[in-house]
Structures are given as C-alpha cells and as structure tokens.
C-alpha cells in the first residue's frame, strides 16, 4: 500500500530551517517597507496631501485628518539616512501636540535634489498609494524678487470664533503652490514677493487684476475665495463653510472694511506731521516696504532710514500725503525711520520710529521663531474695498487639483533659529503579516509530522 504524505517522516532539522527562513524573510520585508500591518483608521488617515512652498532648500507638507493626531514626515535622499521632521508648532516644544491641520516645513535641503517622503500619523505610516511621495527642490535663483503686497486676512469658525489650526492654500495662474497656517487668532499672512513660477526658475510678477483663489481647510470644514490680487490686502474676515467671490461685487469705500474688521481708521489732522506706515515697532515681511505719512501740503520731507543708511527727500501732495519705497532691499533686523519737515508753525519738526524687517523669503506662519503678529492697517484714503457675495454651502468645492507626484514647486519661510529635528527612523515591527503566518504555519505542521 502506498503511504500518504502524512505517514512520511520529515527531519525536524529541515522543519526548523523552514521556520527560521520564514522569520528572516518576514523581518527583511518589514525593514524594506514591503510588509506593513497597522491599525490605521479613516479618522487618522491623511487627506488632501499637498507639497507646497518649494524653494532651493525647503518645502512644506500639509494635510488634514478628521481626528486630531500627532503627525510628522519621514524624509529620505538617495544614499543618505532617513530623518523625521515634526509639525512646525511642535519643533520647539517638549511634547508633541495633536492637530487637525498638519503643517510641516522641511528645510536645510540641497537645490535640484529629489527627496522621497512618507507621512506618519499617530505612529502609522502612509504612502502615496503603494509608493512614497516624491518632491524635487528648485534651483537657486540669484535675481532680485519683485516688490509685491502680501496676502493677508483672518479666518473664523462658523460660530464666529477665531479659526486656528487652519491651512490656507493660494492658487495663482502660473505660480507654484503656496500655503500658510493661521495663527491662534485666526490671522494669516502670505508674502508674495518670493512666489515663483510653476517651474521654479524665476520669481513671478503678479498683475493687480489677476485672479487669486484661496482654499481654506480645517478638518472636514472648507471655504473657498476668489479675489483680485490688488485687493488681497483688503479681504474681510472669512468664515469656514462659506464660499466667497470678491471679483463680481461692486466696490465700496474702505470705511466698509474698517467696520467689518472693527478697526477704527487712523485719524489725522490737517497739517499734522506723522508717519503712518510702518507703525511703531511693527514687524515687516517686505524688505522694500512702502513708507507713508502726512505733513503740510507741498512741503519737502527729508527721510533717513537707518541702519542701511538711506537718505532721500520727497514732496507731499496737495493733501499733505507722502510716500517712499526704497530701491534697494533693507537688511534683516531692526531699523529706524526719521523724517524732518516744517509743521504748522514753520518750526522744523523731526519724528523717528523703529521697525523690524524679517529675512528675505521669510514665511510668517507659526514658525519656529516667535514673531510679532502682523496687523491689517486701515488708513483713510480713497482706496476702495470690496464686499463679497456669500454663497453658503456645506462643503467648499476644492479649488486646487492635487497631483499625486508633485512637480518641483518653491517658498517664502522664516528659517527656524534651530535646525529641524532629525531623528533616524526605525520602522517598528508590526504584529505580523499574512506571509509570515503562512510560512510559520507550514513550519509548525512540518515539525509535528516530523516528530510523529
């Protein structure tokens, strides 16, 4: 009678060898990232992943989770060890706080270099499908950036409270993807002088009548905004779960905006000598700021800016208004502007004010270095603002099409005073996998049959 498989004896040594091989193969696949079994939940999974603010040495990764999670990204360059970068708000704290909106700036990178990254959310690893996300840093640009006004505003929750932990994404035709993060008071500010073209080879000069689109995201709440670039400093507070179109509404005087923002317009007397911009001790992101003030009509105003120094003269107009913008960038740090002109009594009057200029290309958005909160300055001028037509909708339609593999795109970011936290990544072994279970089961059966 022919004996079956179960009646044959298999050497115990051979069974143990198979068991050892199965364990080794499983460990190898785990280290390579081929096998991964996690306990990921939809609430913790990254949504609307975007790589933006790409420069020659940095980029920003943003995404949302429906539940608050502690997030980071694992970065890898070819032939170099992996390192982990945490959320910008957690880089200078001893604890890792959870958020809905995750904003992670990766810096100290090389120009025109390919980097691979995976997302970590509450300890689980997430990829772009079955592959890692890929981003290429831009080339080094030596030309001077254009002088352009920043995009500023404030975001509110549906209940009217300030919307912190909220991401603002800007879309401009021909421009790279740009993002920012609201502060605790819901305000945001995005410098535009460092925005680059889509292919990152040069800075982008934005026409005043060019349309800009804002996509505002916090967890499962959305808002969308359309505006003209020339009105980007006059956008009133925006409420999540609403859509706004500022391009098709009649313009109103700036007093309308002042009332919405509950900021009283500046009051000046005729003939008063005063510096209106910048405010005393104000922090600026424009290294070629516009200085404005008032004096007697048609009078010469001597202007001195230290510590560069710059000395010039301007003549006030028929209303007494004067302005000056330096032709060369001011160096980062504290400066003093001094004006000298005659007052109503014919006496030579001198006024000085201090202000601070951030480093060129800096991005003010919950950076590692604390900074003064930028303020929207309302001044009495004939400049007109806009009142939106508001369309209420439960969910804002996304304005920006996401691309799985991000083309090289570059930012505007305040460099942290300390380098980003870099930790060699060691992938923790998961509880097991289907392949290891099958191989181990076969080995146990062989051991049993071999011992019979």
Is residue 440 over pLDDT 70? no
Domain shared by 226 and 93, yes or no: yes
Question: What percentage of the chain exceeds 90 in pLDDT?
Answer: 40
| 265 found inside a domain | no
If one compares 41 and 203, the residue with the highest pLDDT of the two is: 203
CATH code assigned at 167: 2.60.40.380
pTM (two decimals): 0.52
Within 10 A of 93 (CB to CB), how many other CB atoms are there? 10
**Where in the sequence is the domain holding 29, given as residue range(s)?**
5-37+430-451
| 258 found inside a domain | no
| 267 found inside a domain | no
Domain shared by 148 and 170, yes or no: yes
What order of strands is seen across the sheet that includes strand 321-324?
274-277, 291-294, 321-324
The pLDDT of residue 157: 95
| 102 found inside a domain | yes
| 269 found inside a domain | no
Domain shared by 198 and 306, yes or no: no
Helix 12-31 and helix 434-451: axis angle, to 10°?
Answer: 170
Domain shared by 157 and 106, yes or no: yes
- Among 69-83, 143-157, 338-352, 427-441, the range scoring the smallest mean pLDDT is 427-441
> pLDDT-based confidence at 16, cuts 50/70/90?
low
Is residue 266 over pLDDT 60? no
Q: What is the 3-state secondary structure (H, E, C) of the chain?
A: CCCCHHHCCCCHHHHHHHHHHHHHHHHHHHHCCCCCCCCCCCCCCCEEEEEECCCCCCEEEEEEEEEEECEEEEEEECCCCCEEEECHHHCCCCCCCCEEEEEEEECCCCCCCEEEEEEEECCEEECECCECEEEECCCCCCCCCCCCCCEEEEEECCCCCECCCCEEEEEECCECCEEEECCCCCEEEECCCCCEECCCCCECCCCCCCEEEEEEEECCEEEEEEEEHHHCCCCCCEECCEEEECCCCCEEEHHHHHHHHCCCCCCCCCCCCEEEECCCCEEECCCCCCEEEECCCCCEEEEEEECCCEEEEEECCCCCEEEECCCCCCCCEEEEEEEEEECCCCCEEEEEEEEEECCCCCCCCCCCCCCCCCCCCCCCCCCEEECCEEEECCCCCCCCCCCCCCCCCCCCCCCCCCCCCCCCCCCCCCCCCHHHHHHHHHHHHHHHHHHC
Tokens, residue 280: 């005393």
What is the rounded average pLDDT for all residues in the chain? 75
Domain shared by 163 and 102, yes or no: yes
Tens-digit pLDDT profile for residues 424-436: 333 333 444 444 4
CATH code assigned at 286: 2.60.40.10
Domain shared by 79 and 205, yes or no: yes
Domain shared by 434 and 325, yes or no: no
- Among 3-12, 26-35, 92-101, 361-370, the range scoring the smallest mean pLDDT is 361-370
The pLDDT of residue 286: 78
The pLDDT of residue 369: 35
The pLDDT of residue 243: 94
| 262 found inside a domain | no
Rounded distance between C-alpha atoms, residue 302 and residue 304, angstroms: 7
Domain shared by 210 and 339, yes or no: no
Give residue for tokens 């003030």. 293
Tens-digit pLDDT profile for residues 105-159: 999 999 999 999 999 999 899 999 889 999 999 999 988 889 888 898 999 999 9
Domain shared by 26 and 113, yes or no: no
If one compares 240 and 382, the residue with the highest pLDDT of the two is: 240
If one compares 7 and 124, the residue with the highest pLDDT of the two is: 124
At residue 199's C-alpha, the angle toward residues 79 and 201, to 5°, is 90
Is residue 67 over pLDDT 90? yes
Which residues does residue 144 pair with via DSSP β-bridges, in sequence order?
Answer: none
| 405 found inside a domain | yes
Domain shared by 105 and 69, yes or no: yes
Is residue 179 over pLDDT 80? yes
β-pair type (389-392, 242-245):
antiparallel
The pLDDT of residue 134: 96
366: nearest Cα among 168, 180, 97 = 180
The pLDDT of residue 361: 43
**Domain end among 377, 411, 439:** 377
Domain shared by 65 and 191, yes or no: yes
> pLDDT-based confidence at 422, cuts 50/70/90?
very low
Contact between 86 and 102 under an 8 Å Cβ cutoff? The reply is no
Rounded distance between C-alpha atoms, residue 160 and residue 339, angstroms: 42
Q: How many domains does the chain have?
A: 3
Is residue 408 over pLDDT 80? no
Domain shared by 184 and 229, yes or no: yes
The pLDDT of residue 439: 52
β-pair type (321-324, 333-342):
unpaired
| 363 found inside a domain | yes
Is residue 58 over pLDDT 50? yes
The pLDDT of residue 290: 86
The pLDDT of residue 425: 38
Residues 6+ apart with CB under 8 A from 169: 50, 52, 62, 177, 178, 179, 214, 215, 216, 217, 399, 400
């Amino acid at each position: 009678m022919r004996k079956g498989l179960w009646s044959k004896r298999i050497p115990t040594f051979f069974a143990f060898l198979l068991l050892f091989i199965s364990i080794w193969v499983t460990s190898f696949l785990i280290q390579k990232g081929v096998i991964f079994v996690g306990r990921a939940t939809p609430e913790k999974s990254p949504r609307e992943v975007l790589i933006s603010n790409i420069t020659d040495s940095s980029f920003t990764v943003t995404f949302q989770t429906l539940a608050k999670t502690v997030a980071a990204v694992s970065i890898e360059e070819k032939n170099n060890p992996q390192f982990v970068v945490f959320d910008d708000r957690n880089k200078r704290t001893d604890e890792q706080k959870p958020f809905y909106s995750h904003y992670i700036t990766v810096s100290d990178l090389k120009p025109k270099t390919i980097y691979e990254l995976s997302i970590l959310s509450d300890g689980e690893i997430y990829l772009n499908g079955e592959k890692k996300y890929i981003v290429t840093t831009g080339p080094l640009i030596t030309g001077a950036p254009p002088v352009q006004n920043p995009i500023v505003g404030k975001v509110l929750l549906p209940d009217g409270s300030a919307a912190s932990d909220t991401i603002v994404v800007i879309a401009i035709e021909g421009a790279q993807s740009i993002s920012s993060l609201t502060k605790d008071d819901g305000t945001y500010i995005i410098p535009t002088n460092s925005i680059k073209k889509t292919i990152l080879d040069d800075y982008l000069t934005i026409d005043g009548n060019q349309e800009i689109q804002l996509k505002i995201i916090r967890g499962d709440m959305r808002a969308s905004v359309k505006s003209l670039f020339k009105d980007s400093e006059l956008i009133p507070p925006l409420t999540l779960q609403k859509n706004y179109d500022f391009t098709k509404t009649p313009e109103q005087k700036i007093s309308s905006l002042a009332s919405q923002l509950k900021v009283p317009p500046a009051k000046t007397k005729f003939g008063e000598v005063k510096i209106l911009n910048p405010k005393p001790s104000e922090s600026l992101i424009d290294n070629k700021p516009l200085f404005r003030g008032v004096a007697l009509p048609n009078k010469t105003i001597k202007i001195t800016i230290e510590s560069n120094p710059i000395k010039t003269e301007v003549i006030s107009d028929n209303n007494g208004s004067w302005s000056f913008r330096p032709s060369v960038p001011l160096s980062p740090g504290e400066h003093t502007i001094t004006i000298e002109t005659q007052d109503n009594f014919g006496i030579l009057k001198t006024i000085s004010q201090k202000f601070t200029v951030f480093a060129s290309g800096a991005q003010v958005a919950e950076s590692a270095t604390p900074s003064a909160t930028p303020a929207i300055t309302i001044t009495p001028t004939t400049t007109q603002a806009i009142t939106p037509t508001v369309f209420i909708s439960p969910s804002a339609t996304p304005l920006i099409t996401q691309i799985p593999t991000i083309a090289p795109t570059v930012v505007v970011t305040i460099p942290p005073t300390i380098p980003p936290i870099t930790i060699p990544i060691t992938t923790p072994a998961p509880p097991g996998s289907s392949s290891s279970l099958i191989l181990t089961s076969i080995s146990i059966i062989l051991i049993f049959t071999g011992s019979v």
